[in-house]
Amino acid sequence: MILGRKLTRRRVVFLIAGVFLTVMLAWSLASFAKSVPTRIYLVPSNSMAPTIKSGDRIGVQARAVPRPERGEIWVFLMPTTTGAPTTTIIKRVIGLPGETIEVRGGKVRIDDKALAEPYLSAPMTYTMSPVKLGADEFFMLGDSRDASQDSHIWGPLPRNHLIGPVTLRYWPLSRAGGF
């Protein structure tokens, strides 16, 4: 007897089937989680504000992605040429391999065409001479342009420094969701 009920053959079959299905579901979810590795990060600064703010918690797809696309937000290792210790940071992909990037008049220009950036809350107050990106280089900028330590200061980012694209914000719950 279980909880005052008589165990019938039918109840035993349902109980075994329920346990089996629960185990199979757990195994399937664990297998899926291993096939799509996600790293979790706490964002320590406002260099990506207003899109991502200090204290946000994000998930990053940490497997090889063929090629970053302009506008995507990525986590990567800070280039060692900056003199800073190896640090994991987050910025937006602005320039792609082979392009020429310039900042003038408060706008980013790619191959001399102004880039539309609706995610910015204010234009840049700095200028930057044209920079030609190599075959495996990307230009990364924070959304809070004047307050961001990014490619306009330390130059192009080599492809081998990329970790993965930001796929979701899971905290705070009021702003949780994908990108």
d(CA 78, CA 86) in angstroms, rounded, equals 6
DSSP state of 7: -
Contact 154, 147 (CB under 8 A): no
Q: Identify any residues that bridge with 140 across adjacent strands, giving them in sequence order.
A: 93
**Catalytic residue status for 121:** no
Query: Which listed residue (91, 144, 148, 151) is catalytic?
Result: 91
Query: Which listed residue (34, 47, 53, 129) is catalytic?
Result: 47
B/e letters for 161-176, b = 16+ CB within 10 Å, e = fewer, are: bbbbbbbebeeeeeee
Contact 87, 115 (CB under 8 A): no
**Catalytic residue status for 47:** yes
Give the residue numbers marked as catalytic: 47, 91
